[in-house]
Amino acid sequence: MLKVLTAGESHGKALVGILEGMPAGVPLVPEDFIGLMERRQSGYGRGPRRLLEPDRVEILSGVWRGLTIGSPIALLIWNRDHRFAVLEPPPLEAEEPTEAPLTVPLPGHADLAGALKYGFDDVRPVRERASARETAIRAALSVPARRLLQELGVEGVGFVVAVGGQAARVPARATVASIRASLDRQARWFLTPDARIVPVWKRLIDQARRDGDSLGGVVEVWVEGLPPGLGSHVDPARRLDTRLAAALMGIQAVRAVEIGEGIRQSSLPGRQALDPIEFSAKRGWHRPSNRAGGIEGGMTTGERLVVRAFMKPVPGPCRLPSVDLRTGRPAVPAFYRSDTCAVDALAGVAESVVILELASALLEKFGGDTLEELAVALEAYRRRVAKFAGSA
């Protein structure tokens, strides 16, 4: 199983991350990170910070001559906008900390609960670590896992399906490849397959920015090429939907997760809500529909995995009424730079955490110290499950 650990504050010196559990022999070069890191910073409505941060990923360990070697992979991204001086000892002669304290917690942020929990009267240490800047290194850690899945014929894509309540239209016959191609064609403002909705979203975001407001939205992640049977029904913690929901909820500002058409299924009668099963020599086991979103009983069905993550509006620009931690008096939070809409970034991050979870589930089921061992075990399993029980 893969273990993921990140460290770093938004305006600290650097973000660092460790990925443990990767087999040896997975191709990985620094260029593999570039596309995803750019995508994570993309999007209309982002603040000026992204122009400052090139998000160049340095591989510190676990890779030799362009291949993983089975040991922990350590990655590093330097922050150019490094001014979180609280972490450094103040100069000896200074009596006051160099950074002005932030004593008014931002409603909708981790500030207040974090300050109470850790005993701070300055919310900066909480805000710095709670920041979604951390997702830069989390996304980077997914790159070795992506390379592993690609070698095994598994491909995924994350894209935006709604901003501020306005939904995009996704073509009925779309595939991961066709969505990817449409994102490449028009990735300038939003990662969405629906070019028609782009001016609508831009107008909404422009208005929100003028109003000192922010907007949330919804992203979808699709993954194709998965074998049936990843995850398990035998224990709640081993269900893949448990793990995917936890991974997606773990992304800053995500407030809800849906697997397949889960929400709609809950209001339909069973005969309409559930997917029939079919078998043919050519396609093996399959479903003519995929309302389950590729997971039943906590296991992959072999159909396309479809998950959605719902993001609340980021709190930074809203500055709702609050209370000063030091005086107990009503106060408005200090101006704090932030994004108006970060839903586009969420598309790349949601894709990343799903990829990490799937690679982990694959390694758990098929093991192997090398990519080759893993591929052989997966191939043997694919052959076995392509048949029905009574066949020779």
Please report, in range form, the residues annotated as the binding site. Answer: 40, 46, 129-131, 252-253, 297, 337
Q: Is 302 in the site for ligand EPS (CB under 6 A)?
A: no
Site for ligand EPS in 238-257 (CB under 6 A): 252
Binding-site entries for NADP(+): 40, 46
Q: Based on the shown chain and the rule CB under 6 A, indicate whether residue 313 belongs to the binding site for ligand EPS.
A: no
Only segment of 45-53, 279-287, 296-304, 326-334 that touches ligand EPS (CB under 6 A): 45-53
- The whole-angstrom separation of Cα 204 and Cα 313 is 13
Please identify, using beta-carbon distances, which residue of 27 and 101 lies nearer to ligand EPS: 101
Shorter beta-carbon distance to ligand EPS: residue 53 or 224: 53
Which of 298, 313, 316, 333 binds ligand EPS (CB under 6 A)? It is 316
Out of 131, 142, 182, 265, point to the residue binding ligand EPS (CB under 6 A): 131
- Cβ proximity to ligand EPS: between 53 and 324 the closer is 53
CB of 206 to ligand EPS, least distance (A): 18
Q: 6-25 mask for ligand EPS (x: CB under 6 A)?
A: ----x---------------
Contact positions with ligand EPS (CB under 6 A) in 340-359: 345
Query: Closer to ligand EPS at the Cβ: 132 or 149?
Result: 132
Within 8 A by CB and 6+ apart from 276, the residues are 287, 288, 289
Nearest CB to ligand EPS, comparing residues 8 and 302: 8
Site stretch for ligand EPS (CB under 6 A), options 30-38, 94-102, 129-137, 225-233? 129-137
What residues form the annotated binding site for FMN?
A: 129-131, 252-253, 297, 337
Looking up tokens 């360990």, which residue turns up? 61
**Quick check: 102 binds ligand EPS (CB under 6 A)?**
no
77's CB contacts (< 8 A; 6+ apart) are 8, 14, 15, 16, 53, 55, 56, 57, 58, 136, 137, 140
DSSP H helical segments within the chain, as ranges? 34-40, 49-52, 111-118, 124-130, 135-151, 176-186, 198-210, 240-249, 262-265, 270-273, 343-366, 371-385
CA 120 – CA 151 distance, rounded (Å): 47
Q: Out of 39, 49, 138, 365, point to the residue binding ligand EPS (CB under 6 A).
A: 49
Q: Quick check: 137 binds ligand EPS (CB under 6 A)? A: no
Distance CA 162, CA 167 (A): 4
Q: What distance in Å separates the CA atoms of residue 227 and residue 154, rounded to the nearest whole number?
A: 9
Give the span between the Cα atoms of 29 and 376, in whole angstroms: 24
Which of 124, 129, 133, 319 touches ligand EPS (CB under 6 A)? 133
Q: Which stretch binds ligand EPS (CB under 6 A): 41-49, 141-149, 267-275, 294-302?
A: 41-49
Part of the chain binding ligand EPS (CB under 6 A), chosen from 46-54, 158-166, 267-275, 299-307:
46-54
Under the binding rule (CB under 6 A), the answer on residue 224 touching ligand EPS is no
Under rule CB under 6 A, residue 304 binds ligand EPS: no
Q: How far apart are CA 296 and CA 273, in angstroms?
A: 13
Q: Is 38 in the site for ligand EPS (CB under 6 A)?
A: no
Our separate counts of H helices and E strands in the chain read 12, 18
Report the C-alpha gap between 171 and 186 in whole angstroms: 15
Across the strands, what pairs with 323?
A: 330
Distances 362 to 150, 156, 162, 365, 371 between C-alpha atoms, Å: 13, 15, 31, 5, 11
CB of 10 to ligand EPS, least distance (A): 6
Please, which of residues 323-342 interact with ligand EPS by CB under 6 A?
337-339
**298, two tokens:** 């906590």
Q: Which of 26, 74, 77, 136 binds ligand EPS (CB under 6 A)?
A: 136
Residue 159 near residue 220, CB atoms below 8 Å: yes
**Cross-strand bridge partners of residue 78:** 14
Task: For residues 175 and 344, give the distance between their C-alpha atoms in angstroms, rounded to a whole number.
Answer: 20
Query: Looking at beta carbons only, is 62 or 315 nearer to ligand EPS?
Result: 315
Q: Which residues bind ligand EPS (CB under 6 A)?
A: 10, 41, 47, 49-50, 53, 81, 131-133, 136, 252, 316, 337-339, 345
